[in-house]
Amino acid sequence: MAQAEGRSYDFLDTSHIDTGCLETFGYEGYRQFIQYKSAEFSAVCPFSGLPDIGTVILEYIPEKSIVELKSYKYYLVSFRNVGVYQEQATSRIFGDLWTALQPAYLKVATIYNTRGGIDTTCVVEQGDRSPYTADPIPGY
């Protein structure tokens, strides 16, 4: 494994991401587009040990379940001391939520703070978004 020059800090592996705290509740209603935005996401770069901080945007159309927000917040906080690359974090969040919700549509975007002069946005999307054809998030 590559090692960055300079100081490195300890971090946990991905087995410490707490999927067990994710809770859902039943949904019966009209087809609905839901968006949650959290600007307090952080994980640790496994290359440098430095924090990666950013925003997570969750968009979904429920089939039968809604994620309970407090449990979702605890889930995101469980990444705080975990060493995971930005792209892998996005994929992991998507996979965990897809499994928990089994939605008609799911999109997870991570927008990380600039680091080393590079802006990073990662997006994973799957399912049928129609009839929602317009992008509800201006500028992305």
Strand partners, 58: 36, 108
User: Is the pLDDT assigned to residue 56 strictly greater than 60?
Assistant: yes
Q: What is the pLDDT of residues 30-53, one digit of tens each?
A: 999 999 999 999 999 998 888 999
* Catalytic residue flag (residue 128): no
List the chain domain ranges.
Answer: 29-127
- Residue 91, φ and ψ in degrees, nearest 5: -65, -40
Catalytic-role residue among 10, 18, 52, 128:
52
Q: What is the pLDDT of residues 94-110, one digit of tens each?
A: 999 999 999 999 999 99
User: Is the CB of residue 83 less than 8 Å from the CB of residue 44?
Assistant: yes
User: Is the CB of residue 59 less than 8 Å from the CB of residue 136?
Assistant: yes
CATH 1.10.287.1080 fits 29-127, yes or no: no
Cβ atoms < 10 Å from Cβ of 76:
22
Q: Is 87 assigned to a binding site?
A: yes
Q: Is 69 assigned to a binding site?
A: yes
Q: Which helix (H) or strand (E) holds 9?
A: none
Share above pLDDT 90 across residues of the chain, in percent, rounded to a whole number: 78
Q: Is 67 assigned to a binding site?
A: yes
* Confidence at 140, pLDDT banded by 50, 70, 90: very low
91: Cα separation from own chain's centroid: 8
The pTM of this model reads: 0.88
Catalytic-role residue among 45, 96, 122, 135:
45
* Catalytic residue flag (residue 21): no
Q: Is 97 assigned to a binding site?
A: no
**What is the DSSP annotation of 18-52?**
-GGG--EEE--SS---EEEEEEEEEEE-TTT--EE
CA dist 25 and 68 (Å) reads: 7
User: Is the pLDDT assigned to residue 24 strictly greater than 70?
Assistant: yes
Q: Is 82 assigned to a binding site?
A: no
CA-CA-CA-CA torsion sign (111, 87, 17, 11): negative
User: Is the CB of residue 22 less than 8 Å from the CB of residue 72?
Assistant: yes
User: Is the CB of residue 105 less than 8 Å from the CB of residue 97?
Assistant: no
